């Protein structure tokens, strides 16, 4: 497996059990290649074995007692670690059950604890059903915020990555009408600083280049289409430059993502969710990876949801999960190499 073979195995969380998480975990093992780092799943071994049989996936599963066993087992089977919080009720694919929410959250907690202890090289999270978790008291918008909480309340940034493009939404899960009020120079600064630091630490880019998108069409057209560029975004860019961070913009979003433009930066900071995700998913819908920046441990995730509509069909594509596993392995190896030096 090359360089990533020297890191501890990655912990893959259960995710929403009624979704495609179990299926793509099985398919990821069945389709893994030499560059895929060893990983284990925190899930119910009998449930995964039944899924493999039902969908005809050539993936034997094997229970492990500790993450340390995963590397040896990985060569012949998908290693499965028993969750500390068991599923409360049987899973019906495509039908989320709030009774199992504690097991979903528990698998995240367990993975983070293993990563903090050094037993896991990093964590990869299968998709969760946010509304289902929130209906039983989960007080976070999603994985990114919850992981920041588990890490001690550190500020986090969501980056989406494919080959040739990394994007960071400054505001994330907000209604579009609420974005202007939520946008502040300090928010952009914090996001940019974390991004620049992560590009250096986790991606090995010595002098990161950030492109900062405008909020309004034509970058506000000198105030005729909005003033946020002049009053909020440009001052933040000026401060970043004063701190020695290479930042350009504010750039009209419609000119920021063509081939020649993408060659000029290492990450694009976008002002709202779809401004970042539409170009990324248009360029490579199947292999997007979500990586959380700012954490003391490595975390990636496939860039898709639970896919309840296809969960019972056995037709899920593991490409995004495989990409998330590879990226987590690369970042974990880079961090380990940097710390050793």
Structural domain contains residue 265? yes
Name the more confident of 37 and 338: 37
pLDDT for 35:
86
More confident residue, 173 or 338: 173
Are 16 and 139 contained in the same domain?
Answer: yes
- Tokens, residue 285: 């819908």
pLDDT of residue 4: 60
Q: How many whole angstroms separate alpha carbon 321 and alpha carbon 85?
A: 24
135 pLDDT band (50/70/90 cuts)?
A: confident
Question: Has residue 290 been placed in a domain?
Answer: no
Q: Is 197 exposed, middle or buried (0-12, 13-18, 19+ CB in 10 A)?
A: middle
**Mean pLDDT (whole number) for 169-196:** 96
Number of H helices, E strands in the chain: 13, 12
pLDDT at 333 > cutoff 50: yes
Q: Which of 2-11, 136-145, 178-187 has the lowest mean pLDDT?
A: 2-11
Same domain, residue pair 10 and 147 = yes
Residues 272 and 233 in one domain: yes
Mean pLDDT of 308-324: 97
Q: Is position 143 within any domain?
A: yes
Please state the domain count of the chain: 2
Q: What tokens does 104 get?
A: 């979903």
Statement to judge: residues 327 and 246 lie in one domain: no
Transcribe 71-99 into DSSP letters: HHHHTTSEEEEPPSS--SS--BTTB--GG
| Residue 246 belongs to domain spanning | 164-283
Residues 183 and 314 both lie in one domain: no
pLDDT in tens, 92-131: 999 999 999 999 999 999 999 999 999 999 999 999 999 8
Confidence of residue 2 (pLDDT cuts 50, 70, 90): very low
Q: Yes or no: say if 311 and 216 are a contact pair by the CB < 8 Å rule.
A: no
Domain membership flag for residue 85: yes
Over 60: is that where the pLDDT of 302 sits? yes
pLDDT of 1 above 50: no
CATH at residue 128: 3.40.718.10
**Do both 113 and 255 map to the same domain?**
no
Task: Give dist(CA 330, CA 60) in Å, integer.
Answer: 26
Question: Mean pLDDT, to the nearest integer, of 192-220?
Answer: 97
Specify whether 279 is located in the same domain as 309: no
Please give the radius of gyration of the chain, using alpha carbons only, rounded to the nearest integer.
20
Distance CA 172, CA 148 (A): 15
pLDDT tier for residue 142 given thresholds of 50, 70 and 90: confident
Number of other residues whose CB lies within 10 A of the CB of residue 45: 17
Pick from 150, 195, 148, 201: nearest CA to 330: 201
3-class DSSP state of 324: helix
Residue with tokens 């899973």, as numbered in its chain: 91
- 309 and 277 assigned to the same domain: no
Based on the fold, state whether residues 16 and 128 are members of the same structural domain: yes
101 and 210 inside one domain: no
**Cα 126 to Cα 102, 156, 253, distances in angstroms:** 15, 19, 30
Answer with the one of 283, 313, 331 that is the final residue of a domain: 283
Query: Which residues, listed in sequence order, are joined to residue 63 by a DSSP beta bridge?
Result: 80
% of the chain at pLDDT higher than 90: 91
Confidence grade of residue 341 (pLDDT, cut at 50, 70, 90)? low
Mean pLDDT of the chain: 95
Angle subtended at Cα 5 by Cα 2 and Cα 7, rounded to the nearest 5 degrees: 135
The verdict on residue 37 lying in a domain is yes
Of 283, 307, 325, the position where a domain reaches its end is 283
In a domain, 148, yes or no: yes
Is 152 part of a structural domain of the chain? yes
Question: Does 289 map to a domain?
Answer: no
Shared-domain flag, residues 100 and 3: yes
Contact 15/125 with Cβ under 8 angstroms?
Answer: yes
Separation CA 312–CA 329 (nearest Å): 30
| Two tokens, residue 200 | 């250096």
**Are 240 and 332 within one domain?**
no
Q: Which of 27, 89, 15 lies closest to 316, judged by CA?
A: 27
- Please, which pLDDT band fits residue 5 given cuts at 50, 70 and 90? low
């Amino acid at each position: 497996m090359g360089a990533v073979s020297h890191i501890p195995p990655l912990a893959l969380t259960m995710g929403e059990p009624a979704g495609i998480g179990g299926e793509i975990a099985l398919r990821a093992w069945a389709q893994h290649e030499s560059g895929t780092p060893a990983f284990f799943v925190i899930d119910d071994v009998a449930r995964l074995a039944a899924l493999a049989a039902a969908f005809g996936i050539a993936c034997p599963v094997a229970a492990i007692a500790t993450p340390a066993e995963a590397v040896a087992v990985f060569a012949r089977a998908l290693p499965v670690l028993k969750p500390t919080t068991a599923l409360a009720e049987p899973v019906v694919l495509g039908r989320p059950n709030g009774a199992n929410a504690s097991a979903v959250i528990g698998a995240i907690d367990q993975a983070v604890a293993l990563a903090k202890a050094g037993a896991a090289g990093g964590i990869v999270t299968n998709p969760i059903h946010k509304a289902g978790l929130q209906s039983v008291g989960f007080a976070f918008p999603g994985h990114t915020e919850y992981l920041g909480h588990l890490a001690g309340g550190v500020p986090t940034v969501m980056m989406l990555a494919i080959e040739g493009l990394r994007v960071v939404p400054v505001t994330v899960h907000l209604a579009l009408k609420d974005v202007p009020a939520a946008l502040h120079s300090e928010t952009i600064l914090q996001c940019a600083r974390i991004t620049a630091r992560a590009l250096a630490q986790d991606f090995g880019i010595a002098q990161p280049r950030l492109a900062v998108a405008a909020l309004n069409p034509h970058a506000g057209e000198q105030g005729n289409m909005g003033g946020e560029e002049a009053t909020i975004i440009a001052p933040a860019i000026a401060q970043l430059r004063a701190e020695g961070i290479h930042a350009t913009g504010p750039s009209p979003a419609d000119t920021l993502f063509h081939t020649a433009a993408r060659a000029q930066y290492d990450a694009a900071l976008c002002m709202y969710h779809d401004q970042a995700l539409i170009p990324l998913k248009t360029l490579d819908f199947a292999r997007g990876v979500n990586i959380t920046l700012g954490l003391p441990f490595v975390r990636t995730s496939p860039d898709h949801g639970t896919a309840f509509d296809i969960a019972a069909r056995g037709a899920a594509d593991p490409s995004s999960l495989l990409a998330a596993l590879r990226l987590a392995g690369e970042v974990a190896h880079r961090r380990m190499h940097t710390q050793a030096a």
